[in-house]
């Protein structure tokens, strides 16, 4: 059995996530690095405050990392680690490439940079059951529009100006494909964030990274990489996320068991769409951790 941990991205957060694990020493070892005001928002809300990008990003990383540490304390570990956008930072922290303290400060700064970067009248939309090649052909002649996420064979996300998104949605509708605008504040993972990526890079330059002790599969390349992690993270916020390619790469390298760690079940659903034959588990509670530990130790 070869295991990969997958870490949740932004949008999966909910008030109370991780709270039932708060007495675990493994969880506490991570969560104590989160400022007390954020701990309170994470466990007690209100939802509006937790959904604020500035709060959501560090809270999701802290909770996901804490859950992974609890799982590890019970004997379940991974060979590969990956995350969806923000989750990539959790994967790096879990693999000890960056300290808990540094990763929480870094994602807080990243969230500030991203919040200030996206212009108004930009956004994202998911396209369903449509091949990437068809979408690429439709959007190539539309200005200010790019692919943000290759999520699965059944879901690809486009990003750009709202006018361009509307134009693409109409063209794809004429071809028989459904789409849905996403509830996000702007065109993330697009060239609109080029300046933001440079700003993030200036922050990354001062952060200490070590060699990870897991094989990290990076969003921008969809595989492991020897490139400087700071360059990969800089490029991540302005480039498309190759989640589908990342999963396919891990399967090609022998991974047969994926464990989604953190709030929500989004990644588990995508993995099932990519390959229905692999084992996929989701852990975010004491009960789900117990089930996975029992199954994998049989």
pLDDT at res. 184 = 83
Quote the DSSP letter at residue 86: T
Model confidence pLDDT, tens digit, residues 226-248: 999 999 999 999 999 999 999 99
pLDDT at res. 298 = 75
Query: Where in the chain are the domains?
Result: 3-117+191-296, 122-181
pLDDT at res. 297 = 82
Domain topology for 3-117+191-296: Malonyl-Coenzyme A Acyl Carrier Protein; domain 2 (3.40.366)
Q: Which of 189, 197, 239, 246 is catalytic?
A: 189
Residues of the chain with pLDDT under 70: none
Q: Rg for the chain (alpha carbons), in Å?
A: 18
CATH code for residues 122-181: 3.30.70.250
Q: Which of 24, 85, 95, 197 is catalytic?
A: 85
Residue 95 a catalytic site member: no
pLDDT at res. 122 = 95
Of 219, 169, 162, 221, give the one whose Cα is nearest residue 192. Answer: 162
Residue 164 a catalytic site member: no
């Amino acid at each position: 059995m070869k295991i990969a941990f997958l870490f949740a991205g932004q949008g999966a957060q909910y008030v109370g996530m991780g709270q039932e694990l708060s007495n675990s020493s493994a969880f506490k070892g991570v969560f104590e690095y989160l400022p007390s005001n954020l701990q309170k928002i994470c466990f007690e809300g209100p939802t509006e405050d937790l959904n604020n990008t500035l709060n959501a990003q560090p809270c999701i990383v802290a909770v996901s990392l804490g859950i992974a540490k609890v799982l590890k304390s019970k004997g379940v570990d991974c060979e590969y680690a990956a995350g969806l956008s923000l989750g990539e930072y959790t994967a790096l922290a879990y693999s000890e490439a960056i300290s808990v303290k540094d990763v929480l400060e870094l994602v807080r700064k990243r969230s500030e940079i991203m919040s200030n970067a996206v212009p108004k009248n930009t956004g994202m939309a998911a396209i369903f059951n449509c091949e990437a090649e068809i979408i690429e052909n439709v959007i190539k002649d539309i200005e200010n529009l790019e692919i943000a996420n290759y999520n699965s064979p059944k879901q690809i996300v486009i990003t750009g100006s709202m006018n361009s998104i509307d134009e693409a949605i109409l063209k794809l509708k004429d071809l028989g494909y459904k789409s849905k605008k996403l509830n996000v504040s702007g065109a993330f993972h697009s060239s609109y964030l080029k300046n933001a990526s440079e700003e993030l890079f200036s922050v990354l330059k001062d952060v200490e990274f070590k060699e990870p002790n897991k094989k990290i599969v990076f969003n921008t390349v969809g595989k492991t990489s020897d490139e400087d992690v700071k360059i990969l993270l800089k490029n991540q916020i302005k480039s498309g996320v190759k989640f589908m390619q990342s999963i396919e790469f891990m399967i090609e390298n022998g991974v047969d068991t994926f464990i989604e760690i953190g709030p929500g079940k989004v990644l588990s659903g995508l993995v099932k769409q990519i390959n229905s034959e692999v084992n996929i588990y989701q852990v975010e509670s004491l009960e789900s951790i117990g089930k996975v530990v029992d199954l994998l130790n049989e």
